[in-house]
Chain A
Amino acid sequence: MSISPLNRFKAEFPAKSINEGYARMVAAAFVSQLDPTVADLADIKTAVSEAVTNCIVHAYRDKTDYCPIYITGAYYPDGKTVITVRDKGCGIEDISKAVTPLYTTDTGGERSGMGFTIMESFCDKMTVSSRVGKGTTVRLVKKIVRPQS
């Protein structure tokens, strides 16, 4: 039996780097409804920023027409929060290689290869599903529970 979320949101915007700030603010505004700790909120913002940056830097690297990024968020009665970041870009051929710390295909630039590692360590769970030529979805799960005072 699946439990329905208490609340949810959807957003769509073009893959422009200036929207990285927009994306993490939207996610932060949504998660703020759960009264998270400063650290939990920062974790969500950082993970979303990484996921969206991947869409811009990697998924749509060869595209010039409209490149949409879709974000959804949902939270459940127990505080479980799920954020997805999806693109219709080039897809990832070898996911296990892509998520390896320090691995990057951007050898000429200054990408650190730590994007997926940060998403993994700042969330409770991260899953990547991808199809080459179709796109990639990153699913970030984090339980937001206010510490009892």
Chain B
Amino acid sequence: MHIDYKLRGTTLTASLHGEIDHHTAAIARSEIDMEIDRVKATGLNLDLSDISFCDSSGLGLVMGRLKKMKAGGGSAVVVNPSERVEKVLTLAGIDTLMPIKKEERK
């Protein structure tokens, strides 16, 4: 698992690469939170387009970041999950709590 960051204004895009399970989610969680705090982001895009595996830990990771952003008055969006990743995320109705955005791949 590795993560790339891009900041536009105060919106942080975190692009996650690799597999999300309980092991990697713990690492991603602390890394992303540190970056959110460092740049004082008010918006968070979690780009999951390059996630090849995701179990319920991914759900926890996304929900946790949404909670953190909302607690600070901000917002969070999931961007480009694969059909597979989306299947896991929507099983718990995450799509009713936050937008899942699908963008054209460049």
A residues within 8 Å of B by Cβ? 17-18, 20-21, 24, 39, 42, 45-46, 49-50, 53, 56-57, 101-102, 109-112, 114-115, 117-118, 121
Task: Give chain A residues whose Cβ lies under 8 Å from the Cβ of B21.
Answer: 17, 20-21, 24, 49, 53
* Residue in chain B with minimal CB distance to A38: B84
Q: Could you tell me if A117 and B91 are in contact, using CB atoms closer than 8 angstroms?
A: yes
Across the interface, do A46 and B23 meet the contact criterion of CB distance under 8 Å? no
A137 to B60, alpha carbons, bound, how many Å? 24
Residues of A within 8 A of B56 (CB): 50, 53, 111-112, 114-115, 118
Size of interface on B: residues with Cβ below 8 Å to A = 21
- Give residues 75-106 of B contacting A (CB, 8 Å): 84, 88, 91-92
Are A20 and B22 interface neighbours, CB within 8 A?
Answer: yes
Q: Are A110 and B61 in contact (CB under 8 A)?
A: yes
Checking B19, B88, B92 against A101 with a beta-carbon cut-off of 8 angstroms, the contacting residue is B92
A33, B23: Cα distance in complex, Å: 27
Given contacts A20-B23, A49-B55, A117-B91, 19 further A-B contacts (CB under 8 A): A17-B21, A20-B21, A20-B22, A21-B23, A39-B84, A49-B21, A50-B55, A53-B22, A53-B56, A109-B60, A110-B61, A110-B63, A111-B57, A112-B56, A112-B59, A114-B59, A114-B92, A118-B88, A118-B91
Chain A residues with CB below 8 A from B5, complex form? none
Flag if A17 contacts B55 (CB, 8 Å).
no
CB-defined contacts of B60 to chain A, threshold 8 Å: 109-112
With a 10 A CB-CB cut-off, give which of B21, B60, B64 has the most chain A CB atoms: B21
* Chain A min CB distance to B70 (Å): 15
Q: A101 contacts which chain B residues (CB < 8 A)?
A: 92
Residue of A nearest to B92 (CB): A114
Specify which chain A residues have a CB less than 8 angstroms from the CB of B26 in the assembled complex. 17
Q: 29 A-B Cβ contacts within 8 A?
A: A17-B22, A17-B23, A18-B23, A20-B22, A21-B19, A21-B21, A21-B23, A42-B84, A45-B53, A46-B54, A49-B21, A50-B55, A53-B21, A53-B55, A57-B22, A101-B92, A110-B25, A110-B57, A110-B61, A110-B64, A111-B57, A111-B60, A112-B59, A112-B60, A112-B92, A114-B59, A115-B55, A118-B91, A121-B91
